[in-house]
Structure 1
Amino acid sequence: MQNVTLIATAAMGLESVVANEVKQLGYDVTVENGKVIFEAPISAIPRCNLWLRTADRVRVLVGKFKATTFDELFESTKALPWEDYISEDGMFPVTGKSLNSKLYSVPDCQAIVKKAIVDRLKLKYGIATKMPETGATYKLEIALLKDVATLTMDTSGAGLHKRGYRVGQGEAPLKETMAAALVMLTNWKPDYPLIDPFCGSGTIAIEAALIGQNIAPGFNREFASQDWKWIRNKYWEEAAEEVEDKANYDQKLDIIGSDIDYNLIKIANDNAIEAGLGDLISWKQMQVRDLFIRNENGYLIGNPPYGQRLGDEDAVAEIYRELGNVMRSHPSWSVYILTAFENFEKQFGKKATKKRKLFNGFIRTDYYQYFGTKIKGE
């Protein structure tokens, strides 16, 4: 194999952000709902796992075909070159999903795919007995949509949001991939100040610092495909060298995370230290109304409480009013708020310049964007 077809999966609403990231790595993309598809050399697997900030995971497309019967599913699966991907001792669990397809029994589809692959590999490797499955893990998925079967292999292992720096978290932590997307959907540059006044366990501020110093989000973790024989060690080594070469550790940053909860501030600081960013972010315990802004042309990015629990709505509305009162005195600042609170603009006291629909987990939210009036010379 020289090239592979890769699929970077994405949360709903973030497909274009993931597509831009993949393009910046040098690959041409096709965008579909929940995924970005691209042809690339095998060396793209380490690079994409290390660099993609907003994708959920990176999968290899092994095959795609129509299947309306179990026989079709079995024969078409068996016809694929599994020996190119799975080693003789490989462990290959199969998960599945089915939507609007004649083959709707997911457990049956998983079992048929597994049997087809076993039959193929036993034939190719000359194994008469049971497959050993004691070696590297190759997580496979059979996805059926409108009678089209797609077989993919997960290269990431743990989801890409698991950066490896979260030693603690609050009640409803924002995924690292979503936090990175919130920063990347702004025009923030590392020489501008940035504040998150609802920092929780610090995810937005930490992701901003990683972006600001161009530190690859996957630098501190391992990936399932590091154990695969068909991805040469050289590719991982070259990707790691690129990560080190492109990091800009000298870039100064002015990033502040604040929260009303002292315990969360301590967790955020611990997470930042684990990420190697302990000296780059300032953490402060304070209420929104006490927010002190000293510079011009800054960015405020936040994921405040949504007021979805019974009795919380009035308190949350008050927080949004206080935020609006503070930011009215700083027209050069751009404000970006992710919330599911429907009357946010009314409480904040201003209509957003732009609004973008995003899903925070399973919660439908809006990303309210207020563009600041930039002051020249600052």
Structure 2
Amino acid sequence: MNKYFAICPRGLETLLAEELTAIGGEEVQAIAGGAFFSGDWTVCYRANLESRLATRILWHIVKGPYAKEDDIYRLAVRQLWPNHFAVSSTMRVVTTAIKCPLKSLDYVTLRVKDAVCDRFREDLGERPNIETRNPDVSIHVFLTENECTLYLDTSGQPLWQRGFRKASVDAPLKENLAAGILKMTGWQPGTPLVDPMCGSGTFLLEAIQVALDRAPGLDRTFSFERLRHFQALDWANIRSAAEARVKPAERMDIRGYDIDERAVRATRRNLQEAGFGNLITVDCADVLEVQPLTEHGIMVANPPYGERIGEQEELAAFYPQLGTALKRYWAGWNCFFFTADLRLPKLVGLKPSRKTPLFNGPLECRLFEIRMVSGSNRKG
């Protein structure tokens, strides 16, 4: 039984733990920034293929105490790295830390790199090459105040890179964060969904995959395929089962709009590249004029945050207009706004029924739920 750590955007840890349990993970435990779980290699393969929320899946190699860099070197040099990957593989070392007393994480990275190469040289007489940009294998070092944990990355490129978003506009949402937000809205396939500020279409792409029961990793490769423990037959069976599960593509009541024609073009291109070109509606329209076609449904939007000077004033003028549009057109709908601008509910003039803290990278945000009750839109 292997131990793993799945990294995810902060705020999605509980949902990730539920997802890993459903995938077959055992001893699942959510902590800040991700979740620990146990399982055999097939659970690892499935987590990489199926997880909509994880950023990457790390395989736990060893944990030990340290006081100085030499302790970390000794811990790393004792591991049987040649049993895990071939000397012909390119590698890199990534170090992260919380409350680490050591002066330089770069020096820790260098010492672990030396330890791994020294181990290969001792066992095989040669060492792997270092490749920092796109290596075959990544070793992750995690330091707390007095403990060092070494992991091998089983994912490779981050899992939010689904493999088919080719066009993007400014600051697109990462796919796993969009998937988590979609999950938090309670949206289910068959329920009307509208994103009136769709950008490059991330919410729409994630929703389509959920509706088709399509595993998010079907269009990509993973680092575990380059590890010595790789079980090709098991992986082929897992992939085949996931492919067989995908539902036939048909039109869905999912709509995307954006006032920017470039964004609409980007979304349409991404849908086309993913093979979802004719499944949903995407049009150029102002969020203040978009109207729903059904009495009930879910709206989800990621409005601009106003990070540049001058934008704050523009947003302060825009929000009351948004509030008016919501009251006029969206009665009966559940509306969700993901933003770092905490003024939104007050300036929109509608009280949120829920405020969920989430992080977009280092940026603290909120997912505001505003229930547009039919016939009663008084400010609470």
TM-score (norm 1): 0.91
Distance between the aligned counterparts of 1:163 and 1:250, measured in 2?
18
The separation in 2 between residues aligned to 1:76 and 1:263, in whole angstroms, is 52
Q: Measure the CA separation in 2 of the matches of 1:366 and 1:334.
A: 16
Aligned counterpart, 1:204: 203
Secondary structure, aligned partner of 1:204? helix
Pairing 1:304-343 to 2, within 5 Å after superposition: 304-328=303-327, 329-343=329-343
Report the counterpart of residue 233 of structure 2 in structure 1.
Answer: 234
1:5-44 correspondence to structure 2 within 5 Å: 5-28=3-26, 29-44=28-43
Q: Distance in 2 between matches of 1:38 and 1:224?
A: 19
**Relative to 1, partners in 2 of residues 1:171 and 1:215: Cα closer, same or farther, differing over 3 Å?**
same
Distance 1:138 1:104 in 2: 26
Shift of 1:207: 0.9
5 Å-filtered alignment, 1:363-374, equals 363-371=363-371
Deviation, structure 1 residue 336: 0.6
TM-superposed CA distance for 1:159, in Å, is 0.9
TM-score by length of 2: 0.91
* Paired residue secondary structure (1:253): coil
1:169 aligned partner: 168
Give the distance between the partners of 2:38 and 2:342, measured in 1 at CA.
Answer: 41
Q: Deviations over 1:224-262 (max 9, x none)?
A: 222223111112212211211222235652111100011
Aligned amino acid, residue 17 of structure 1: L
User: What residue is the counterpart of 1:357 in the other structure?
Assistant: 357
1:131 paired to 2:127: yes
Runs of 4+ in 1 over 6 A off after TM superposition: none
- Call closer, same or farther: CA 1:112–1:220 in 2, change over 3 Å: same
- Match of 1:298? 297
2:13–2:34 CA contact under 8 A, matched in 1: yes
Q: Distance in 2 between matches of 1:295 and 1:326?
A: 16
- Asked if the contact 1:256–1:281 (Cα under 8 Å) also holds between the matched residues in 2, the reply is yes
Q: Distance in 1 between matches of 2:18 and 2:195?
A: 25
Q: CA 1:244 to 1:13, structure 2 compared with 1: closer, same or farther past 3 Å?
A: same
Q: Which moved more, 1:21-30 or 1:249-258?
A: 249-258
> 1:69 & 1:314 partners in 2: Cα distance?
50
Q: Distance in 1 between matches of 2:364 and 2:99?
A: 24
Unaligned runs of 5+ in 2: 375-380
Question: Contact between 2:15 and 2:180, CA under 8 Å: does it hold in 1?
Answer: yes
Deviations 1:290-349 (A, max 9, x none): 112120221000001122322222332343333322332433211110112222112222
Identity level (%): 28
Q: Paired residues, what number?
A: 370
| Mean CA deviation greater in 303-312 or 142-151 | 303-312
How far the C-alpha of 1:100 sits from its partner, in A, is: 2.6
Aligned counterpart, 1:121: 120
Residue 184 of structure 1: aligned partner:
183
Two-structure CA RMSD over aligned residues (Å): 2.2
Using the alignment, how far apart are the partners of 1:304 and 1:100 within structure 2?
Answer: 35
Matched residue SS, 1:226: helix
Show the counterpart of 1:346: 346
User: How far apart in 2 are the matches of 1:73 and 1:10?
Assistant: 26
Alignment of 1:259-278 (within 5 A): 259-278=258-277
